[in-house]
Each structure stands twice: as C-alpha cells, then as structure tokens.
Amino acid sequence: MKALTDVLKESSQLVLETGQWILAQSSQFTSSDIMYKGTNDLVSFVDQQAEAKLKQGLSAIFPEAAFIAEETSSNYEEVGEGYYWVIDPLDGTTNFLHKLPVFAVSVGLILNKQPILGLIYEPNRDELFTAVKGHGAHLNGKPIQVSPEDSLSKSLLATGFPYYDFSYQDRYLDLLKELMRSSHGLRRMGAAAIDLAYTACGRFEGFFEANLKPWDVAAGKIIIEEAGGMVTNFSGGQDVIFTGEIIGAGPIFSEFLGTLQSKWFD
C-alpha cells in the first residue's frame, strides 16, 4: 500500500486541477444553472462534474478507499471501518452561485471513522492547506500553526448560520450574543472548510458549527489537529465526522468550549 505522504502528493495535484477548473467555470455560470436539493440547499453541474473528476482521480491514486461524497452519498450513516475518501467538491456552493469568491475543494481520507489526511484548496487565493497524520499541517508547502492567542476576549471566531434546520436557532442565537460580548467578533464565511483551514493557520482563533456533514469537516479536522489545535464535538468527544457538531481552536479551546456548552446545553 502506498505511503500516505505519497498519496498526499498525488492527490494535491488532482485537487489543484479540480479547483482551477471550478474557478474557470465561475465566469460562465448563470442563475439558470442552479438546481435545488432542498430548502436553501443548492447544487450545480459544477459540483457534480467536480465530484466526478475527484472520484475518478482518487480511485486511481488510492483504490483501497471507498467514497463518502456530497453529491452521491446519502447513506453515510452506515459507513463502517476501513478507508474512505470524504469529498466536498465545492464547499461554499451558495457563495459560488452568487459569485462571491469564497469557496473551496475539500478532500479528506478517513480510517476507522477518523481523518488521517486532508486537503482544502481555495482557488481564488490559490491556497492549498494539507495535512497527514503525524506529519504536521502546511499551506502551499510551508508549515502552519494555530494562533497562539490564549484568551477568548482577544480572539476572532468563525461560525456558520443555520440555513435549513432551524430547530436549534434559539440556542445558537443565545451563544452568538455571548460570543459577541466576549471576543473580538465573529465571521461567517459560508464555507466550513475555509473556516477550518483559516483556524489551522491562525487567521481565526476558533470555529464552531452545528448540523454539518462528514464532507464539511473531514479534511479540516486533521489539518487543525496537525497544526497544533484541538477539535471535538460540542460534548467534548472525538466523534466529529458523523455527529454534525464541531468546535476547533488553539489555546483558547477550553474556554471556548466551556462558553459554548454553557449556552448550548443550558
């Protein structure tokens, strides 16, 4: 079996090519190309073709892995042990469709339901974030670390807003009120992969979001961890990929998690 560092090298080129193809499509895309999977859940031929490109290429690079992919996987709850590629071909689809240049390709490799390799490519800035378990995290080949800031009051945080499941909206708004008072502020980029990558390289001190899917977080989790940060679900457990909850940060993690839990589980 191929070494994971070799898998990363080969898959990096594939992800770069796919991201550049997506970027080229953005200038030609029109509102008539938008399709709906559900309420505020948008998709396009760009997502679908990008996913097909990734699956074909990754199958050749590391055929031992099966796939969990946004546009073709509806039964990920039944995923077992072993290797799986976890793919979001275009994270930030709504941004892309509205020509807001904040979107990314996100590819993770998991083993026994935990990520061991991750790539996030933001083509608008030509930034490729990568990590392999035990080998650190990198941005365009250079090592990255989470922010050294250890105070929540001096931190810039990222999150995502509920957009189709509003059952936890009140708890979420209570938490936002608290974090607005106790931090430098909050940002909502509209692409969880970018939020996670930016946390890994220290642009954000922390990120949290609920109601996410495996392809939203698989790559970002390993990248933050390899950059020296911590990532858990809202209860503090390691099961992040399949619970839909994620909180990640550097030294502020304990204070950040405690603040979240005081509002979320109140």
Residue type, 125: R
Q: CA quadruple 107, 36, 173, 179: dihedral positive or negative?
A: positive
Q: What is the pLDDT along the chain (266 residues), one digit of tens a residue?
A: 789 999 999 999 999 999 999 999 887 766 555 655 544 444 567 888 899 999 999 999 999 999 998 766 556 666 778 999 999 999 998 898 888 999 999 999 999 999 999 999 999 999 999 999 999 999 999 999 999 999 999 999 999 986 666 676 788 999 999 999 999 999 999 999 999 999 999 999 999 999 899 999 999 999 999 999 999 999 999 999 999 899 999 999 999 999 999 999 87
Among residues 28, 75, 168, which one has the least CA distance to residue 159? 168
Instruction: Output the known binding site.
Output: 70, 88, 90-91, 216
Give the other-Cβ count within 10 Å of 39's Cβ: 9
Domains and CATH numbers, the chain: 4-143 (3.30.540.10), 152-264 (3.40.190.80)
Please give the model's pTM, rounded to 2 decimal places: 0.92
Asked if 212 and 188 count as a contact pair (C-beta separation under 8 A), the reply is no
Q: Is-contact 110 4, C-beta < 8 A? A: no
- Binding site for Mg(2+), by residue number, is 70, 88, 90-91, 216
- Kindly write down the DSSP assignment for every residue of 204-230, as one continuous string: SSEEEESS--HHHHHHHHHHHHHTT-E
